[in-house]
Amino acid sequence: MQHMPVYLDNNATTPCDPRVVEAMLPCFTTHFGNAASRNHAWGWAAEEAVQQAREEVAGLIGADQQEIVFTSGATEALNLALKGAYEAYAVKGKHLITVQTEHKAVLDTCHHLEKLGAIITYLPVDGQGLINPDDLKAAIRPDTILAAVMYANNETGVIQPIPEIGRIAAEHDILLLTDATQAVGKIPLNVSKEGIGMLAMSAHKLYGPKGAGALYVRRRSPRVRLTAQMDGGGHERGMRSGTLNVPGIAGLGKACALAADEMAGEALRLAVLRDKLEAALVAQTGAIVNGGGAPRLPHVTNLRFPEVKGTDLLRVVSREIAVSSGSACTSANPEPSHVLLAMGVPEELAHSSLRFGLGRFTTESDIDRAIETVNHTVRSLHAIYNL
């Protein structure tokens, strides 16, 4: 029987933890009510499940439960944050700041806002993928309303200095929005201590279900105002109408509760495995770590393999290991990674880079198999190319 490939694409999506599935199941069958139905037991049970999840999500990120707005995922959360803030703060100005290495959910939304009259500054990054906080300071104008800076990059795992960025935003009276989709549940973060005004997250990146996510919206000191992007019914304190996805929300809550309990131990275990994978491939194949000098998430490595064609490498390796050459949202696009290009990686080497995302269910034997597969593939390709 053919064996299954090793799954090392946990930045694209994670498998649902069985404990999350268990928490969701009653919401499909016995507790199937509409959380907005306030007149009977089924509605109350659904509302209770949503309330518990709200507290679990808030607890993981250091927020108040009333600051959590449930969405269909991080893409919707980011659209609501950017478009909602642009409309709500139009009287102050139309200038927004973001970073060249953001996810397409931010960049494409910014391009949309530009068509509506927004002026957007796209900050550059250095060779490690980090922004210079002085560049952010220099970009702020009297009409700046918001800076959108990703907490940790989805392709490289590079972590931005968010507490420092939060201080700069507060000093200049602008909002800080962070796409924390890859960071939430993987590393400790605290919205109130780090000066974050809005934070987007997705359940399926932390062992929860697809189709559920949340936007943290700060309530005080100062309160963040948003214009709703979806009208009808006034759910989620008027910020996001629509019948709540109770099973998905319950799953997101349980995933956050598990992450709060297990994150520290999991991060240590995965960092050891990631470092083993990285060290072996650097030594055996001459690979170079993209963003290796910066603070990174413990479970991610992005490696470029010189003198190997990226299409050949990915085609052969993917028979044995599930990895990617960039964001899952752009994998249908043959263009090289915009993240690596912004870091100054030459186009050819950006094409020959692979992202390895380890996860809760990754074992040491998975890593051994990945090392063997990639090493063998690179050597074989070098032989074919007569190197």
Catalytic residues: 329
Spatial distance between the Cα atoms of 27 and 30, rounded to a whole number of angstroms: 6
| DSSP 8-state symbol, 146 | E
Query: Are residues 209 and 16 in contact, defined by beta-carbon separation less than 8 angstroms?
Result: yes
Q: Which helix (H) or strand (E) holds 28?
A: helix 18-28
Q: In this structure, what token pair is assigned to residue 207?
A: 């062992």
Spatial distance between the Cα atoms of 74 and 331, rounded to a whole number of angstroms: 18
Count of alpha carbons within 13 Å of 202, Cβ hemisphere only? 21
Distance of CA 329 to the CA centre of its chain: 12
Q: Where are the beta strands (DSSP E) in the chain?
A: 6-7, 68-71, 95-99, 119-123, 144-148, 175-179, 198-202, 213-217, 288-289, 300-304, 321-322, 353-357
Q: Say which amino acid occupies 271.
A: A
